[in-house]
Amino acid sequence: AQKITQTQPGMFVQEKEAVTLDCTYDTSDPSYGLFWYKQPSSGEMIFLIYQGSYDQQNATEGRYSLNFQKARKSANLVISASQLGDSAMYFCAMREGRNTGNQFYFGTGTSLTVIP
């Protein structure tokens, strides 16, 4: 089974509107971390937001928020008030507890296009 699943290969959103990028994960480890990264066409991976499995509240960072539904094993990224500069690939990632392994597991990504 895939550790991280991103089912939306491509998404479009109108400028200034909100958009949700889906991410589901698979782990039996009670301790894990979830991360979202943005990769613009320039290629560099930019860290956006982190959610720990024991965090009680959904993480927020500026216009980014993470809709964390632990029972459903989903960690969707919400971008509010989309801007043209948000057009990029977005990757969801997971790191399990240190006793489980050293890898970060990345999804296949979602390409977001913001339409003026």
Partner 1 sequence: GAGVSQSPSNKVTEKGKDVELRCDPISGHTALYWYRQSLGQGLEFLIYFQGNSAPDKSGLPSDRFSAERTGGSVSTLTIQRTQQEDSAVYLCASSLTGWGGRADTQYFGPGTRLTVL
Residue numbers of the site for partner 1 (CB under 8 A)? Answer: 31, 33, 35, 37, 42-47, 50, 52, 91, 95, 97-98, 101-104, 106-109
Least distance in Å: CB of 31 to partner 1? 6
Q: What whole-number distance in Å separates Cα of residue 116 and Cα of residue 106? A: 30
Least distance in Å: CB of 2 to partner 1? 11
Residue whose CB is less far from partner 1, 17 or 61: 61
Least distance in Å: CB of 70 to partner 1? 16
Cα dihedral 105/111/112/116 (nearest 10)? 160
Residue whose CB is less far from partner 1, 42 or 57: 42
**One-letter-per-residue 3-state SS of 15-39:** CCCCEEECCEECCCCCCEEEEEEEE
